[in-house]
Structure 1
């Protein structure tokens, strides 16, 4: 029975006794004399005193009960304040602070860290700092969470993911640093292997990695002014020993070298064919209709033939070759997109030297040897190319993207003469003719107009690989290609 209930019960009892006594007094007054009344009044006073005493005793008993309950209440309040103090941040009362201190003392072994914990394939329980299970929420499966604190409690390890919210170390996978994606190159002195612990990076004792070896990393971290790269499960290199910079790069203002595969650009992969378009798809369409490819261009004759075909096949009569018309000619969808999307596979990486880049360019050019000269063409070695198309694909293989001069752009109307665009491109400086060397580009002009009309790749001072009517070949620079306009350098 609580205090109020007890008090109400006792008071009610006293009033009942008082009422009974009063009734007795009234009856006595009507039948007895004053002495009896006095006696009765004394009895009434005694009854009231007894009732008052009973109330006092009950109150005293209730107060004792209160005192007996206080430690349990205080304990409950302290536990509640502990939770509140851990959940709230800076706004703590003195009681909260005491409770927090008690919780910290029982927790012990808190280590500050900077990492990521990723939950496993199931929902993950959360716990308070004192080990109490949080029942109203969980972490989703396979999700990453930042953690800044490792808590050792009752022989188990926990990671803080929110204020006073921790995951069991057995339920998550701890990683350090930030997710990343890149390539790192070991410097000439080799690279020490490190492991990451809660205290920081320590040497793993594994053999050093070899100079100029290349590694893919998936996380980065920093410590003591150094960047660390994770190249395997808890295997790290630092920026003293490794770098993301290429061994060779052109100066600013030159065509820059990419260490990742170049992607198609300069137009749509799967572009339609219409008046003025050149390149491989036009070459195949002209060949289908029996037209000469001395000059491969989509002209009026091709348009008329395409319209007639479309009419026969029940297609919209547009005179434009789209994918449906292409397939109506017996060609397949894969070539419609594949011809446009071809970019020579990268043959260099961040360890490549200047010489490596030059050789990659020339090696790609040799893959076209013997293929026909086709105007506006710059696709794979399965087909022919023209002179500037050969250069474009050779550059791709060496890591150089010459956009806006591209393989797709070359086939579009008005871009047949990409040799002129390369000649005008300031990202490839002119060099003295007498200083020419392997890997330079050599340009020629039309003797009748003086306008640039041809480009080749120098193999040495006097020989080049080129695409000249009617095939890709190795030829002397003095072999009737027009007047030599000059030489430009791709690699510094």
Structure 2
């Protein structure tokens, strides 16, 4: 290793344990006995511009975060060590109250291999900062017509050799309010308008940093492009009140059991439907019963499989079904059709739009999966809710197929997160419930299209019917969106 290569190596001792636990802290205070070799690094992001999302359909939001660039501390080369312990004591720490010192908080990124300077402007001779590495800074010093950022105890970089970054790493989505949003840039003095055209109302952006100043929160949506909380918000345009089922603005994930669950006595749903169909059984009631288990045991015996009467993945594949379907049927959750700009009406229409995808598909008891197969009445509601941003867990797509959960219409009727409304005030998007006339027990649910018409799954298909089509006794109406 030649001396020039050694010179470019970054010095090797971390600031303090405190600095290791906090990204943006002040460099430690030197005394006459301390060494001038404490240089700290932090991670940072190479920012990429964010393209504006469309607001007519589900906004497509481009992520602002780029590749992570994290520098590490390196020891002096052993054959060329010039430690301050042996040769140099630290000079006096820069006075925080001096007229040429400005307190700041940020991170600087080196543009190239970068010289270090002491408080009096002298260049440090035995080391440099590596190119494209980030460093915590807490002071800006002006000296003899030049400016410097402090990156360690009494060690500074020239401002011409680095770029300043601000804020704290964060991630999320911010929505521009109705009056649009001013674009700001950050400098040492604070936030100033950058002169770009305002962002459009209801446009949606991903942010990768936040900063606070003057009582406002700023969100970085591109390289040193910020929106503030006067003009933009992370709150959705519409949300249900506390105590109601809450609206999600990210894709809902499957829940209620294992993806790829086995089939045994009492399980219902699409996988059971396909197994019953394989053995020629009727699907008037899609349930894994003793007859199915007996047929499975015979099949397993003929094919050299463990004879359990339970359909696992190996038995399923031997029957000619795919592994992709084994997991895909369980994991299907309707794609989210709403976002943080959606109104109450948008959520209702997303729910109904998803329900219409099942029109004409067969009624399958315990089924709450994809439109390619079919669903029962509460399975239709579950998937319609998913599309509108509502996760009704513990009522869920997978849970519905498990033993004891066939009648999720009863669970929805009992769920206090769906408030009941006066029958005379019913409207599009409400859920309407029916009971067995002989017992008064709830057994059916539909989604209202208007006060007198609903979309439903009723033996033997998903269809649109009058609410007075002999579905049982109407017991009441519940509201999904306030």
Q: TM-score, normalised by structure 1?
A: 0.75
Higher share in helix: 1
Q: Which residue of 2 aligns with 1:423?
A: 413
**CA separation of 1:344/1:84 partners in 2, compared to 1, >3 Å: closer, same or farther?**
same
* Partner of residue 380 from structure 1, selected from 351, 361, 370: 370
Are the equivalent residues in 1 in contact too, given 2:114–2:128 (CA < 8 A)?
A: no
* Partner of residue 92 from structure 2, selected from 97, 100, 107: 100
Are the equivalent residues in 1 in contact too, given 2:362–2:375 (CA < 8 A)?
A: yes
Cα distance, 1:318 vs structure 2: 1.5
Cα distance, 1:293 vs structure 2: 0.8
* Partner of residue 230 from structure 1, selected from 207, 220, 223: 220
Matching of residue 210 in structure 1 with residue 200 in structure 2: yes
Q: Give deviations 1:385-439, integer Å, cap 9, x for gaps.
A: 0000000010011111101101010010000000000000001111110000000
The CA distance in 2 between the partners of 1:395 and 1:81, in whole Å, is 64
Q: Give deviations 1:337-391, integer Å, cap 9, x for gaps.
A: 1111111111111111111110010001011111100001001111100000000
Matching of residue 269 in structure 1 with residue 259 in structure 2: yes
Cα distance, 1:165 vs structure 2: 4.1
**CA separation of 1:131/1:323 partners in 2, compared to 1, >3 Å: closer, same or farther?**
farther
Q: Give deviations 1:61-120, integer Å, cap 9, x for gaps.
A: xxxxxxxxxxxxxxxxxxx987848779xxxxxxx999538x779x99544322234568
Alignment of 1:319-338 (within 5 A): 319-338=309-328
The CA distance in 1 between the partners of 2:301 and 2:90, in whole Å, is 90
* Partner of residue 398 from structure 2, selected from 402, 405, 408: 408
Are the equivalent residues in 1 in contact too, given 2:110–2:129 (CA < 8 A)?
A: no
Report the secondary structure of 1:459's partner residue. strand
Matching of residue 112 in structure 1 with residue 126 in structure 2: no
Q: TM-score, normalised by structure 2?
A: 0.76
Are the equivalent residues in 1 in contact too, given 2:249–2:340 (CA < 8 A)?
A: yes
Larger Rg: 1
Cα distance, 1:236 vs structure 2: 0.6
Report the secondary structure of 1:407's partner residue. coil
Q: Which residue of 2 aligns with 1:491?
A: 481
Instruction: Name the stretch that deviates more: 297-306 or 160-169.
Output: 160-169
Cα distance, 1:279 vs structure 2: 0.7
The CA distance in 1 between the partners of 2:127 and 2:309, in whole Å, is 67
**CA separation of 1:143/1:136 partners in 2, compared to 1, >3 Å: closer, same or farther?**
closer
**CA separation of 1:143/1:294 partners in 2, compared to 1, >3 Å: closer, same or farther?**
farther
Q: Which residue of 2 aligns with 1:199?
A: 189
Report the secondary structure of 1:229's partner residue. strand
Q: Give deviations 1:165-189, integer Å, cap 9, x for gaps.
A: 4456677653211111111111111
CA RMSD of aligned residues (A): 3.1
Are the equivalent residues in 2 in contact too, given 1:378–1:385 (CA < 8 A)?
A: yes
Report the secondary structure of 1:338's partner residue. helix
Instruction: Give unmatched runs, 5+ long, in structure 2.
Output: 1-29, 39-87
Are the equivalent residues in 2 in contact too, given 1:87–1:164 (CA < 8 A)?
A: no
The CA distance in 2 between the partners of 1:386 and 1:351, in whole Å, is 31
Alignment of 1:85-484 (within 5 A): 100=92, 110-117=101-108, 128-129=118-119, 130-133=121-124, 135=126, 144-151=134-141, 158-166=148-156, 174-484=164-474
Report the secondary structure of 2:382's partner residue. helix
Q: Which residue of 1 aligns with 2:13?
A: none
Cα distance, 1:196 vs structure 2: 0.7
The CA distance in 1 between the partners of 2:260 and 2:133, in whole Å, is 39
Q: Give deviations 1:48-69, integer Å, cap 9, x for gaps.
A: xxxxxxxxxxxxxxxxxxxxxx
The CA distance in 2 between the partners of 1:119 and 1:332, in whole Å, is 53
**CA separation of 1:144/1:270 partners in 2, compared to 1, >3 Å: closer, same or farther?**
farther
